[in-house]
A and B are shown apart, each in its own frame.
Chain A
């Protein structure tokens, strides 16, 4: 187990290397550059000024040198300065990543709260109207464009019913109650979509478990049906659900751009997206790298958790 873990951690290095190289390559290929967006077009572009700015931002060197310089600084914990706001990139990330993590974690929790009972019931009452309803609702959940679903939610819950604020963000450390109020709609929008996947997964792994021998054995030993299902089967069936939720969480970190834009949620997805448009290279690079690291770590943790929960995998 320890060796496996160390091995996996070592594997992260080339993965992150590939990630950063790909980002660098893409950025290099983007037409138009940050100097253009910073200078504007009212004054003639003085080539000397341009050169100075390029130099100040370190953009005058060949791409591999830029990469080397950048990676060297990152290893020392220096992400550089945003070219647009001119504030340290670390600060920009520190401001935006928690908001996204907050949204993603609560969203995933909501999805599990919906999906596990729903999936279990659907499996137990297989081919009943309950099962079909659960399946269809969950399928519809992933068939609606995200932005549309989110806007409809706002119009219904905040404009029509007046229950929740339409948009905005407040840190939970500032005022937890208020913060949760702002969180509910976006987190539910995240949760509902993710629940669609998770419900289906729970249902099928539940069915898998219910066909296993131990269930019959337990039944023959006289355990009540409820106990068999909820104590043994569901517990085992939850292993893949938890695994997938972990992977979804990792994926959500960069996947909430659309929801962040709609709900005016100051997260990292929106920040990177706007940085791409503004050509704010250091922010794009650092943002994707940090998210990549989180994704890789979450994947690793999920993997380890899976091995702990399911010792057979470790033997293979």
Chain B
């Protein structure tokens, strides 16, 4: 962490260094190696990371691993128990649960990532600029954020998703709206966090140093402060990925999730309530998939926090 600070301070006055491709490659490589080494330090992050790697491999290989169309019913195979043909059995419409779990996961993880990235890309500039400029603009923009944060619980999600679902949208567009809704609801938190970090960073010498050499203020805000307040945001975003998946499940329970037949863990788990006593196996696989993925993101995020928070580094 502290090395990065120095970089900012050490920059030579009046000289802009453009890194070559070679340097960039080296830098990325070093960063990656560092990251893996760091990860290894924290057991939780390592376990979480491994779980995520396994998940990523499974989801990337989904087209190879599955033989069945996840949305195609088989009228001769309702509610089949797990077998060689259907490793996880079939649901009430005779659809292969294994296919649904994998295809659903692909979709869900992409939505979760996209939503979080969207929330970050909206919240970070908003928070950073607000914190950097301060004054009246800051006051106004933070009141907007506070207003959104004052929405109790998941009611903001409820409102946005109700609205989004009831527009005439389909398939991909529906997913996009979900991304937008979940990301937008994440944005105030990010903005808050980013602004807080900026306020702390602003006090530090390197910013003042840059100011004295007359660099454009926007440049300072984005180029220098931003990287230094990323760590709490990254941790937050990782944990958020798991949270988003749970929110989608909760929305499905309330009847506001993905419209069928699109495979979706939350919707499938929610639909499996009917079979809880008569056919409990149907519920187990989407349920496990959710738990596994959310747990992986949580472990990883938790570990990252340990690594990135310098105060905790010795633990």
- Which residues from chain A sit less than 8 Å from chain B, CB to CB? 11, 14-19, 21-23, 26, 29-32, 126, 135, 139-140, 142-148, 151, 155, 200, 204, 207-208, 250-258, 261, 269, 272-273, 276-277, 288, 291-292, 294-296
Contacts and interface: CB of A to CB of B under 8 A. Distances in A.
A43 to B, nearest CB: 25
Contacts of A16: 147, 150
A38 B249 CA distance: 31
Interface string B253-296: 11000000000001001100100110000010001001100110
Interface in B217-244: 242
B112 interface: no
B166 interface: yes
Contact of B151 (A11, A256, A288): A288
Interface stretch (B86-94, B113-121, B128-136, B152-160): B152-160
A256 to B, nearest CB: 7
Interface centre among B152, B158, B162, B295 (most CB of A within 10 A): B152
B279 to A, nearest CB: 14
Contacts of A272: 155, 158
Given A18-B147, A29-B163, A151-B273, A145 B246 contact: yes
Contacts of B315: 126, 207
Contacts of B167: 31
B266 A145 contact: yes
Given A146-B250, A255-B152, A15 B158 contact: no
B interface, size bucket: 35 or more
Given A18-B147, A31-B167, A142-B294, A291 B152 contact: yes
B312 interface: yes
B254 A254 contact: no
Contact of A292 (B152, B159, B163, B298): B152
A258 B253 contact: yes
Nearest to B290: A145
Interface in B34-87: 44
A176 to B, nearest CB: 27
A18 B143 contact: yes
Contacts of B287: 144-145, 148
Given A139-B295, A250-B152, A254-B151, 16 more contacts: A16-B150, A18-B147, A21-B147, A139-B298, A142-B246, A142-B294, A147-B253, A208-B311, A255-B152, A256-B153, A257-B154, A258-B250, A273-B155, A276-B159, A292-B151, A294-B152
B250 A145 contact: yes
Interface of B: 44, 143-144, 146-148, 150-155, 158-160, 162-163, 166-167, 242, 246, 249-250, 253-254, 266, 269-270, 273, 276-277, 283, 287, 290-291, 294-295, 298-299, 302, 311-312, 315
A18 B148 contact: yes
A135 B151 CA distance: 30
A145 B154 CA distance: 14
Given A15-B146, A155-B276, A26 B294 contact: no
The SS class assigned to the A binding surface is: helix
Given A18-B147, A29-B163, A143 B294 contact: yes
Contact of A139 (B146, B283, B299): B299
Contacts of A32: 166
Contacts of A144: 287, 290-291, 294
Contact of A200 (B163, B283, B302, B311): B302
Given A272-B155, A292-B150, A296-B150, A11 B276 contact: no
A19 B149 CA distance: 9
A207 B312 contact: yes
A122 to B, nearest CB: 12
Contacts of B44: 135
Contacts of A23: 159
Contact of A261 (B144, B146, B254): B254
A147 B251 CA distance: 10
Contacts of A250: 152
Contact of A14 (B147, B277, B294, B311): B147
Nearest to A18: B147
Residue with the greatest number of chain A CB neighbours at <10 A, chosen from B44, B153, B249, B266: B153
A148 B277 CA distance: 13
Contacts of A146: 246, 249-250
Q: From A15, A21, A23, A295, name the one whose CB has the most chain B CB atoms within 10 angstroms.
A: A15
